[in-house]
Amino acid sequence: MKLGADNETLAENKILILYLLSIIEKPINNDELYRLVLSIQDMNYFYFQQFLLDLENNEYIINYKKENDFLYEITEKGRSTLELTIDVLPGIIKVKVDETVKGELREIQNESAVRAEFIPLSEKEFIVKCKIIENNVMIFEIQSFATSREQAVKIVQNWEANAATIYPKVLQMLNE
């Protein structure tokens, strides 16, 4: 697809994004939204970003920062516009969206439920943040200090691989 493609194709892609955001009914980050779009239809990442910018400039969607993520959400104006233009989206794509979104969303939510990152303070000092997020709400966060990049990476990897075991143990220890 080229950005110079006919107006109907461009409109169809924007309506697809609005349709996905209306079905999701909650804020979603850029990567997760792009992943959902790709599960429905092949779309160049740069075109996708341009479509998001156009939708945001027209106030059909909003983009805001929550913690370390930028989230997208459909606006009332976007919902109204979607109602008026939904017929532009081919029925086969609507069916594909309805069939695909639930499974993809579950997978995305499971992936995004456990997060870890490290922030360098200097060459030999790092803060490591380990989190559990459910429905875009942080339910657990713990920070640790690491004295090397290797140690920070090891903590991140350990958290991502073992959070389901570590989290209950920490809660139990805190409740004793």
The reported pLDDT for the residue numbered 135 is 65
The reported pLDDT for the residue numbered 96 is 85
DSSP state of 89: S
116 strand-pairing partners? 130
Residue 67 lies in a domain: yes
Beta strands in the chain (DSSP E): 28-29, 61-66, 69-74, 114-122, 125-134, 137-146
Residue 1 lies in a domain: no
The reported pLDDT for the residue numbered 67 is 67
Domain range holding 67? 7-111
User: Phi and psi dihedrals of 74, rounded to 5?
Assistant: -75, 145
User: pTM for this structure?
Assistant: 0.60
The reported pLDDT for the residue numbered 66 is 76
The reported pLDDT for the residue numbered 3 is 45
- 64 lies in the same domain as 23: yes
Token pair listed for 20: 């996905």
Q: Which helix (H) or strand (E) holds 9?
A: helix 7-24
Nearest to 143, CA basis, from 109, 110, 116, 121: 116
Q: What's the CATH number where 11 sits?
A: 1.10.10.10
The reported pLDDT for the residue numbered 113 is 78
- 76 lies in the same domain as 129: no
Contact partners, residue 121, CB within 8 Å, separation at least 6: 127
Per-residue pLDDT of the chain (176 residues; tens, 9 = 90+): 444 456 667 889 999 999 999 988 788 888 889 988 988 888 888 999 999 999 999 999 999 887 667 889 999 999 999 999 998 888 888 888 887 877 776 666 655 578 888 899 998 999 999 998 876 678 899 999 999 999 999 999 999 889 888 998 998 998 88
